[in-house]
Amino acid sequence: MDPSSSSIMDRSTNIVSRFISQIYFVTLFYLNYFLQLLRWPFRRYDQDSVDHPSIRPSKAIIDSLMGNFENGRLINANESVEQTFQRLIESRQYETAMKLAKKFDLQMDLLWKNMWLQQQNEEKSIQLIDECLSKINDQKWIFNQCIECIPEQLPVLRHLLQFGIERIQMINTSTQSTTNDDNDDNLFMAKIEKTLKSYLNRLDLYEKILKSKFNNENDYCDQFDWKFFEKFRQKNSFQLAIEHAHQSDIETLSVLFAQEYQTLARNFFVIISNLPETLSPSQYKDLIRLAISTLTDKFFTVSNDKNEEQDDYEKNFFVNNPNYLKFKTEKSIDDEFLTGWFEYRSENILNLTMLIDNSLELLSIGIDDYNLLSLRNLYAELDLYSLFVYDGFSTTAMISFEKFRQLSIEEKMNLLFNDKMNDGMILIRNLFEKFFEKITEYSRHHQQTQTMNISRKELLRKFLINLVHKDFEQCLKIFETYTIVNRTPDQLKQLKILDDPCDLIELALDCIRSYSKPDDLDLAFKIMECLPERDQASLLNKQLNHGKNQDQQNEWLERFNRMNDEADDMAYHLSMVEFLCENSTRISVKELIRIANEDKADQQQLKFIEKIVNNFCKQRCSTSNNNISDHTTISNEWKQFFVNLKDLTKKYFPLINDEQLLEQTVRCLLWSNNEYFIQLAFKHIDHVELRNNSNSSAKKLNIEKGRSILRLVIQDYIRYAGPQPEDEMLKYAKMCLDFLQTLDPNDSDTINHLNFLEAIQLLNKEFPNKLWLPIRIHNISRQQELLDAILSSSNDAHKKIDEILKIISLLNLFKSSDDNSNDNDDNTDDDDEQEARLLNKIGEKAIENLDYKTANDLAINIMDRNLQSGWPLCYQICCLIMKRNDEDSEFGSSITIDQQLRLLSFVLANCPDNNIQIHYDLLNQLKHLKQLHLNHLVEPKIYINFHGQPTTTTIKMK
């Protein structure tokens, strides 16, 4: 290991001092050397003397000098011996430090400690322990190293721990003869010994764990992890077991169970419960066996040898996980305990992971290995629930296992096949067999219900009906799989689920009655193809009923024929449904039967007939395009359609008679918005009133009913017609009116409706700037409202007087004025008065638009025809003339005095006698008119004065 930063600084300082010492040494060396040379002749002179030794050779001289130098060089003049000793140790000059220690009798512990600490953990060896650690006198420091130091080699660590224990035992032996021992020291030594033994036991345990994983001695020694062991030795057995259980370390748990069973036995099942739920139970099956064999032993006792740390950890664990307390035992266990644990563990696996295979595997261990028969109920429920987990897709998100257990078998089946969250079931026919195989196991294992409350056929029916609602095509595949048609006797024996032809037919018919999507009609026909025919009865009877008595065979044949009768009825149902679907009435057999059995059938069924005919018309309208060839094709199709419709009605709607059917058909044809179908409806209405019952009358509708339907249809066409001049609704209404007029030319309602259509045409033609919605015109009941609408359509609308009068006449609005008088009984006078009032309003509009000429023409017309009710317009013009004369306008000058006098006279003759204001106003106008008249009588005459300038003389005429 590299020295620390402080050691580096010290060593750098030592290098400098050593360099100076070397210079000092060289100087002294050569000085002593020359001194010895100078003394050498004198010593040689006395070399024969005994008292003086002979002069040694040069090597001896050098060695003597070096020895003297070493003793002098070890000690620096600036530091003490102890400081030099410490410096040598810190600079790792251990041999020099030893010589110095021996020379001056210094304490060697510092040297041995430093040598021990300077070695890395991977460098520590048994030899280092014996040659270094064993020579230290500081016992507490030795014990501390035995506890804290963890060599990276397992044998070295073991030797270190054993060394510590042996040293303690040696000390204890040597101190037994001493009577005045310190109690604190004894306690300390006991604590150290206990810790070292505990660590040695943990090392033995760890070694066994490594051996269980690595067979070769070199392999497991090489796998020794000193860092892991540093934590491993601090933990109690229970903590180790829980942690390794979380890690799925079965080998370690096996060693712990075998070596630490006395302390772990009470928590064996708690520890096993902490294994990951995703772990297959077969992997810890041996742990379960070991736990059960240990805890079922009648001589089993619980060890009370626990330290405080163990108690604390275990206490905290159960505080955080109180649900495990019920599996902590202080005595031998029984079947009730084991059953509770197996149930808890299997349900916990399910709840946390949904790995039902693991739950089932665990329960199988309890049932098969330990004969815990009470687990069969749970096993059966989980086995059935596995379908929902592994094959039911998102069904598991809808219901938990606890709720699932409370459901009946029928409810469980419905739950499996009514998963609306799923877009479609894949391989449902495989699930079919799985389900019924598990149902068999369910009924066999379920102790509370040895037999199910529902029959097998009924369960099959519910299964298939649910499947029909989910995916009818998958249902078809099941019937194709289990079809009896063209099967050999060996193949019939292999049909485990649907093996009875009668049951097959019955279930197939139930499925066809249950499908609801019209697109699945083809699938229904294919299911019918999977059913056996009548001519297979004898062959199937021999194959399936071989060995049965004649009565049983006859009973089976009777049922087989009865089921074929139902199949024939179903075939007819399907043909009718096919007829409806081909004519755009998409329906299923289920819906058709429901409508046929509906309460208030006379109303619901008639609506259904209406729907059928309407759909036929809509489908054909898109293809006809008023083409003659198409009309011919459609005519033939209509005939066939009507024949099938009558058959359908007789079969499913017997309460509807032919007349009701014909009436509903005519109604639909008239409302078809198609010219051809409207004409076709006319052919179904009888033209002759009060026709006796005959062959022709059975095919045609009574004329009275025909009229009533036509009137309703005409009203609807007018009601829904648009404002466009060429709207088809008006065309269809005109067609119906023309046909209705042929039935009764003098019908007033028909004439009024025809006049209404003519008025609509005039409005669209003469006043195109406004959108004339027929239904709005039809609802106008007041003359003024229509007149306002016409006059507001354009600035020149008031000029089309004749057209306005004609439109109002066609709409019968002449007598709808609010100020209509009933004094005159003559119709002609009434019409004249109404026309006068209309002219008044048109004239007012003309004046409002500054069209005085049109207003004056209307006034002249009123006076010429002596329309007395037209005086307000004449009065208004008179007032306008007075105003314009004051302003000297062209309008006043364009009307002669005679015309003005005529207007005033007409107004004065026809205005109300009690209106004083009008009379007073008229009097003033007459005076003004008289003044104008007098002014016009003054004629200017010119005379020539031959004697001077010309002069003018005005002569007043008397």
Distance CA(638)–CA(618), nearest Å, equals 13
pLDDT, greater one: 218 or 915? 915
Q: Which domain holds residue 189?
A: 138-175+182-234
Whether the pLDDT of residue 474 is over 50: the answer is yes
Whether the pLDDT of residue 589 is over 90: the answer is yes
**Which pLDDT score, from 0 to 100, does residue 891 have?**
56
Whether the pLDDT of residue 122 is over 90: the answer is no
Per-residue model confidence as pLDDT tens digits over 62-85: 455 444 444 445 555 567 877 887
- Kindly give, in sequence order, each residue whose CB lies less than 8 Å from that of residue 809, ignoring residues fewer than 6 positions away: none
φ and ψ at residue 699, rounded to 5 degrees = -105, -5
Over residues 496-508, mean pLDDT: 81
- Of the residues 193, 219, 234, the one at which a domain ends: 234
Asked whether residue 258 is domain-assigned, the answer is: no
Distance CA(283)–CA(551), nearest Å, equals 59
Per-residue model confidence as pLDDT tens digits over 656-671: 888 888 989 999 988 8
Whether the pLDDT of residue 189 is over 90: the answer is no
Over residues 208-222, mean pLDDT: 73
Distance CA(754)–CA(734), nearest Å, equals 7
Distance of CA 137 to CAs 113, 134, 186, Å?
10, 8, 18
Q: What's the token pair of residue 542?
A: 């021999």
**Which pLDDT score, from 0 to 100, does residue 5 have?**
41
- Stretch (H or E) spanning 941: strand 939-943
Distance of CA 253 to CAs 149, 190, 197, 789, Å?
27, 31, 22, 101
**Which pLDDT score, from 0 to 100, does residue 343 have?**
94
**Which pLDDT score, from 0 to 100, does residue 597 have?**
85
| Dihedral, 490, 493, 497, 502 alpha carbons, nearest 10 | 100
Asked whether residue 848 is domain-assigned, the answer is: yes
Per-residue model confidence as pLDDT tens digits over 674-715: 888 888 888 888 876 545 444 444 578 888 888 889 999 988
φ and ψ at residue 518, rounded to 5 degrees = -60, -25
**Which pLDDT score, from 0 to 100, does residue 855 have?**
80
**Which pLDDT score, from 0 to 100, does residue 697 have?**
46
Over residues 614-633, mean pLDDT: 71
Whether the pLDDT of residue 795 is over 90: the answer is no
Mean pLDDT of the chain: 77
Asked whether residue 114 is domain-assigned, the answer is: no
pLDDT, greater one: 437 or 395? 437
Whether the pLDDT of residue 549 is over 70: the answer is yes
Residue with structure tokens 């998958």? 474
**Which pLDDT score, from 0 to 100, does residue 7 have?**
41
**Which pLDDT score, from 0 to 100, does residue 348 have?**
93
Chain centroid to CA 778: 53
**Which pLDDT score, from 0 to 100, does residue 600 have?**
60
Asked whether residue 912 is domain-assigned, the answer is: yes
**Which pLDDT score, from 0 to 100, does residue 577 have?**
94
**Which pLDDT score, from 0 to 100, does residue 57 have?**
47
Distance of CA 479 to CAs 468, 510, 511, 524, 572, Å?
12, 13, 10, 11, 21
> Where are any strands of DSSP class E within 268-396?
none
pLDDT, greater one: 51 or 844? 844
Share of the chain above pLDDT 90, in %: 13
Over residues 454-477, mean pLDDT: 81
Asked whether residue 319 is domain-assigned, the answer is: no
- Kindly give, in sequence order, each residue whose CB lies less than 8 Å from that of residue 944, ignoring residues fewer than 6 positions away: 950
pLDDT, greater one: 637 or 483? 637
State the total domains in the chain.
Answer: 2
**Which pLDDT score, from 0 to 100, does residue 179 have?**
46
Report whether 367 contacts 353 (CB < 8 A).
no
Asked whether residue 806 is domain-assigned, the answer is: yes
pLDDT, greater one: 551 or 366? 366
Asked whether residue 849 is domain-assigned, the answer is: yes
**Which pLDDT score, from 0 to 100, does residue 270 have?**
93
- Of the residues 234, 269, 303, the one at which a domain ends: 234
Distance CA(473)–CA(494), nearest Å, equals 23
**Which pLDDT score, from 0 to 100, does residue 14 have?**
53
Task: Please give the single-letter amino acid code of residue 347.
Answer: E
Per-residue model confidence as pLDDT tens digits over 337-353: 999 999 999 999 999 98
Query: Which range among 29-38, 531-540, 729-738 has the greatest average pLDDT?
Result: 729-738
In DSSP terms, 940 is beta-bridged to: 954
Return the number of other C-beta atoms located less than 10 Å from residue 95's C-beta.
8
- Stretch (H or E) spanning 955: strand 951-955
- Of the residues 197, 214, 234, the one at which a domain ends: 234
Per-residue model confidence as pLDDT tens digits over 351-390: 998 899 999 999 999 999 999 988 888 888 888 888 777 7
Asked whether residue 910 is domain-assigned, the answer is: yes
Among the residue ranges 292-301, 517-526, 949-958, the one predicted with the least confidence is: 949-958
Report whether 248 contacts 275 (CB < 8 A).
yes
Per-residue model confidence as pLDDT tens digits over 803-837: 888 888 887 776 654 444 444 444 445 677 777 77
Over residues 510-519, mean pLDDT: 92
Over residues 145-172, mean pLDDT: 82
Residue with structure tokens 């096949």? 417
Report whether 146 contacts 196 (CB < 8 A).
yes
